[in-house]
Chains A and B, each alone.
Chain A
Amino acid sequence: MKKLLCLFAALALCTPMLSAPAAAAGKPAPLPRDSVYQLPVQLIDQDGKRFAWASRRGKVQLVAMFYTSCQYICPLIVDSGKAVEKDLVPAERERLGILLVSMDPKRDNPAALMSIIDKRKLDRARWTLASPAPADVREIAGVLGIRYRALADGEFNHTSALVLLDGDGRILARTEQMGSRPDPEFIAAVHRATARP
């Protein structure tokens, strides 16, 4: 225990010294060890634009996994995101990004992703739909705590969750309650996270 305390003391002393020069040089502070952005993966969005997973850093994010051909729960995942969005005041909404990551990148090309944006009338100022490389899907699912399996008919069997990330990619809240009536505790967490810049 004393050893642990020493460690904390050392950390408290060292961290400002370590981060100050980095900030002075204009480099971003290192990612926290519990940030999901530690995962070095790239995605392609509905516009065909490639971006680093970690580039979502800097803004509070609502993240979920889905796939475009999903008939049953995935529309509910979009409903959940919209319900959260609706519950926010404009200033809060400005501070939130919503990212839906496909677990079916082989079929979810930019055109397929865009079709969902159009069909569900998603506000592109806030919503991004994106596909990782096929080999990276399970790792993203891993940091988000999502389980899935590809079925023989092209559908997926999967768990569904909305995950709220702070600006550094730390998980603030998580809900598996899908649909247009979101979990009040989760909504409260989104309000807290987006309350101030």
Chain B
Amino acid sequence: MRRLAALLLLVPLAGLAAGAADYAQLPGGKFRTALKYEDRKGDARIAPFALMRKPVTNAQFLAFVQAHPQWRRDRVARVFAEPRYLSHWAGADALGARALPQQPVVQVSWFAAQAYCESQGARLPSWDEWEYAAAADETRRDARRDPAWRERILRWYSHPSSQALARTGLQAPNAYGVQDLHGLVWEWTEDFSSLLVAADNRNQGDADNAKFCGAGALSMDDRDNYAVLMRVAMLSSLDAEDTTVNLGFRCAKDLK
């Protein structure tokens, strides 16, 4: 009985929309991104923003789907989410053994991630914001020059993605108080479809088939930063309705 009471206390909490405490505040400023664009000279400028400390969980996404049934997997518009959307859940509004409440939600499309963040009065982070937050380790805001840190991040990418996902929040917070940016899931960014990798320009020399309008091709400024390179390659290969077994998201907000 006492257990039930405790459960009853917990349920409304878990169902609550992400509150201010779920977001870390990041000061922003000048940031040297690993992406090099022909048209962008110097550093990126990042405005102060708030970022969810952890990726969105199955429990949080379930609450969203229940409140917005048009995002149930059996009702969602196909243009917004491919057939694999939430296909690992036990039902259209039930999680089940393959989707534990505190695991990060995956198999979500960009449209669904957008809609979730919008429902929280938030948005998806931009690529620059995500990379900026993910440059930090536990003590330093920019640990990217440290080969040991890079090595540690890279090790995760060599794990097979068939393993069950860990719960969110198990890794130590980084210098901004944000967790799981590496080592758990890949994450959508608001501007994922602005990542136009030059190598995708398959028909070079044929003006009729030129893939991009104008200059501004993307290349990597930091060739040793494989972790970022892989993220970019992955995001640049996706369409907005796509989902994958290890792609989730977290939301961001402007700070005024």
Q: A residues within 8 Å of B by Cβ?
A: 31-36, 38-39, 70-74, 76, 138-139, 141-143, 145-153, 155-160, 176-179, 181
Chain B residues 64 to 80 lying within 8 A of chain A, measured CB to CB, are 76-80
Interface Cβ pair total, 8 Å cutoff: 106
A33 interface neighbour in B78, B111, B212, B217, Cβ under 8 Å: B78
- Sample of 17 A–B contacts (CB below 8 Å): A34-B77, A70-B213, A70-B214, A72-B213, A74-B213, A138-B190, A139-B240, A143-B79, A147-B195, A151-B39, A152-B37, A156-B214, A157-B214, A176-B209, A177-B209, A178-B209, A178-B210
In the complex, B3 has a CB within 8 A of chain A: no
User: What residue in chain A is nearest B78 (Cβ atoms)?
Assistant: A34
Assess the A139–B114 pair: CB atoms within 8 A.
yes
Assess the A151–B209 pair: CB atoms within 8 A.
no
Assess the B77–A156 pair: CB atoms within 8 A.
no
Assess the B114–A176 pair: CB atoms within 8 A.
no
Q: B residues within 8 Å of A by Cβ?
A: 37, 39-41, 76-80, 110-111, 114, 190-191, 193-196, 207-217, 236, 239-241
Assess the B190–A159 pair: CB atoms within 8 A.
no
A181 interface neighbour in B77, B193, B208, B239, Cβ under 8 Å: B208
| A70 contacts across to B, CB distance below 8 A | 213-214
CA separation between A178 and B209, bound complex, in Å? Answer: 6
User: What residue in chain A is nearest B38 (Cβ atoms)?
Assistant: A151
Q: A145-B240, A155-B214 are in contact. List 11 more A-B contacts (CB 8 A).
A: A70-B213, A72-B213, A73-B214, A139-B111, A139-B240, A142-B193, A148-B194, A151-B216, A157-B214, A157-B217, A178-B210
CA separation between A150 and B39, bound complex, in Å? Answer: 10
CA separation between A153 and B213, bound complex, in Å? Answer: 13
Q: A142-B110, A147-B193, A179-B208 are in contact. Are A38 and B80 (CB under 8 A)?
A: yes
Assess the B76–A142 pair: CB atoms within 8 A.
no
Assess the B191–A138 pair: CB atoms within 8 A.
yes
Assess the B193–A138 pair: CB atoms within 8 A.
yes
User: What residue in chain B is nearest A66 (Cβ atoms)?
Assistant: B213
Assess the A153–B39 pair: CB atoms within 8 A.
yes
Q: A34-B78, A143-B240 are in contact. Are A159 and B211 (CB under 8 A)?
A: yes
A142 interface neighbour in B37, B111, B208, B210, Cβ under 8 Å: B111
| A147 contacts across to B, CB distance below 8 A | 193-196, 236
Q: In angstroms, how far is the closest chain A Cβ from the Cβ of B241?
A: 7
Assess the B216–A157 pair: CB atoms within 8 A.
yes
User: What residue in chain A is nearest B201 (Cβ atoms)?
Assistant: A159
Assess the B214–A38 pair: CB atoms within 8 A.
no
A38 interface neighbour in B77, B191, B195, B217, Cβ under 8 Å: B77
A35 interface neighbour in B77, B193, B208, Cβ under 8 Å: B77
